[in-house]
Structure 1
């Protein structure tokens, strides 16, 4: 094998070039923190990196969606909480209205206050979010949930739909409730329709007791006859309450202690003209109805303010309205509970998402990122190798094969 001076120079320069390339490669890894820059350097590693980046981006989107969902639910919960407080104030005013010491001036003041509370409730039902959307209007969020017609009637414009947000690969959380379900489909107090030749007046006095009777005997799919109770008078001042099949529910005597003859049974009170007749009173259990509180409060404010309405009729209307308000309070509160449950679910999912995202980030780092200490060590080793190469080249540069001849 022939060795020439030129060959020595060529080999030394090649060694320096390779050492310099290694320094550049290690410097790039150290500065970027990545094991590779292209798929050609590590095909399987790049494939894994792309997969993890997709998963990380998806979890980031889920976390952002969860934050939006939490904000939407918080707005709804706040509005419903304010409505609950407003209705509680209405209930208090209704209790004040049945105070026997109220004169017409006091009743008018209470009526005006109830109307103001109704207006506040109207504003809350039309709550808008930061984007100007009506949060209780369902999919029709650009239209106010309630509008006041020229006849003074409050009309619901919400549809029955709701919106959801995906906060995890298989978790879709409802973030809105339609006012049609919350406000319009809210039940009202049970009622009766009594008839009889001896009957002067019929009303529900104690709703707790009457509700038990109603829920026991009312048949949603039944006929009028199947939902009709009967009071039979025996002609001696005694009565018997019968179910639709003629079975005895309760019995007693007509109260004749005052100038008004009364039958009080199962939360109901009937005023009759003749306690010693042997006639019957038919009591039809009316089909339960739904009605929004805005119209209910408008009507009761009008009744309280109307001097032509007797005190007895006012008290009866106020008592029923109190029950309507209590039902609405319970109904609104149930939705607040649902919202709280959804918020808890979102919180749990978001915590899981953050943990899973952190795992994906760590897995991606293991595949594509270098250890800073190792990268620094490799860079120093490559720099030392380059330095040695240059030193060797410098030494060879001073020699020649003629020195050995």
Structure 2
């Protein structure tokens, strides 16, 4: 068989190139710290690594989302704490103002302090987060949720949704409660609230209401006491359109000296005292019902109004006592509601800690999986590097030896 010089040269060069390619490949692996530098190195591992990388990126995005959610919830919890403190301060002032020893001037001073608390509450209700969005407007977060109308009454302009944020693949968490939930709601366990209707001319005051029998067939119905004269009244219930008398011409004896009268309906009792005028009405309704919609700002406005009005006749004194009694009940319900919402925000903050821990463990698993798929075993790589180096040197030496061979040396 005849082997030409060109063939020997070609085979030697091909061998050196192959050895050099293998050597450079191992060098690239050592430099990058990865076993799979190009997809062709291990197509199956490279394909799986792409999927793991995507899952890892999504987990990192959820972690960033949890940071944002935690900031919103922490700010919400802080504001709710301030609202709770303001609520307690307002209740303390109303208890103080209920004392018969205070003069009209003293009550006006209390009203002035109550106004400061009222403005503080309104400012907190229109608080914004770090991005300039209003916290308690729901998804209508580009304008203040609570504004005063032409009559000075606070109106809610937000929506009834709670802004949500995805903190994990399977969890969409509310990160800010809407203003209705905080300032215009009561807890589910809130009871009855009594209220003297505006325009009453008599001086009847009430105590209660007290729940006596939750098993009464009429328990849960709103009712009102409608005085048809100074000695009789009807008990009326609302059918959705009109008030209808269910008990009529009941004798009223609370207008006698130092006497009180207890009126009971639907397992609820209310104590009355004083002299009414025909047409005077006293409502007893469940807190949060259609007849007695909760509104913290309206409660504060009514309390301020009655404290600023001189109680210089029996009717105004009765209005003062009744309004303060109603306001204190409303503030109690509002405080319970704010504490409930605050507890919910705290529970979500705790949940974020749990999801963070799970996310951290998941990231560790992804890192380990990626390492197993594409990372380099340095001990094996260094051994391979030395072997390829020796192989390349041997190929180079063989080429030098072959290049120097000639038959003329043996002739």
Q: TM-score range by the shorter chain?
A: 0.7 to 0.9
Counterpart of 1:270 in structure 2 is: 272
Which of 259, 267, 286 pairs up with 1:261? Answer: 259
Q: Summarize the Cα distance change of 1:286–1:352 in structure 2 as closer, same or farther, 3 Å threshold.
A: closer
Offset at 1:142?
A: 0.7
Distance in 1, matches of 2:191 and 2:84, equals 16
For residues 267-316 of structure 1, the C-alpha deviation after alignment (integer angstroms, 9 at most, x for no partner) is: 6322367xxxxxxxx98744641232112111111101211464443233
Counterpart of 1:306 in structure 2 is: 309
CA RMSD after TM alignment: 3.7
Which of 393-402 and 61-70 deviates more? 393-402
Q: Summarize the Cα distance change of 1:48–1:372 in structure 2 as closer, same or farther, 3 Å threshold.
A: same
For residues 70-113 of structure 1, the C-alpha deviation after alignment (integer angstroms, 9 at most, x for no partner) is: 11211211111111111111111112112343233321111100
Q: Which runs of 5+ in 1 are unaligned?
A: 195-199, 231-240, 247-253, 274-281
For residues 214-253 of structure 1, the C-alpha deviation after alignment (integer angstroms, 9 at most, x for no partner) is: 8956555x6x8xx5799xxxxxxxxxx9xx999xxxxxxx
Paired residues in the alignment total: 373
Distance in 1, matches of 2:52 and 2:297, equals 54
Distance in 2, matches of 1:202 and 1:308, equals 14
Which of 98-107 and 183-192 deviates more? 183-192
Counterpart of 2:168 in structure 1 is: 168
Offset at 1:331?
A: 0.5
Q: Would you identify which runs of 4 or more consecutive aligned residues in structure 1 move more than 6 Å? A: none
Which of 317-326 and 384-393 deviates more? 384-393
Q: Which runs of 5+ in 2 are unaligned?
A: 227-234, 236-244, 248-252, 276-280
Counterpart of 2:364 in structure 1 is: 358
Distance in 2, matches of 1:383 and 1:87, equals 80
Q: Summarize the Cα distance change of 1:95–1:217 in structure 2 as closer, same or farther, 3 Å threshold.
A: farther
| TM-score of the pair, normalised by structure 2 | 0.78
Counterpart of 1:379 in structure 2 is: 385
Contact 1:72 1:176 in 2 (8 A): yes
Distance in 2, matches of 1:151 and 1:97, equals 26
Contact 2:195 2:322 in 1 (8 A): no
Distance in 2, matches of 1:13 and 1:387, equals 13
Contact 2:13 2:399 in 1 (8 A): yes
Offset at 1:388?
A: 3.1
Contact 2:185 2:334 in 1 (8 A): no
Counterpart of 2:240 in structure 1 is: none
Offset at 1:213?
A: 5.4
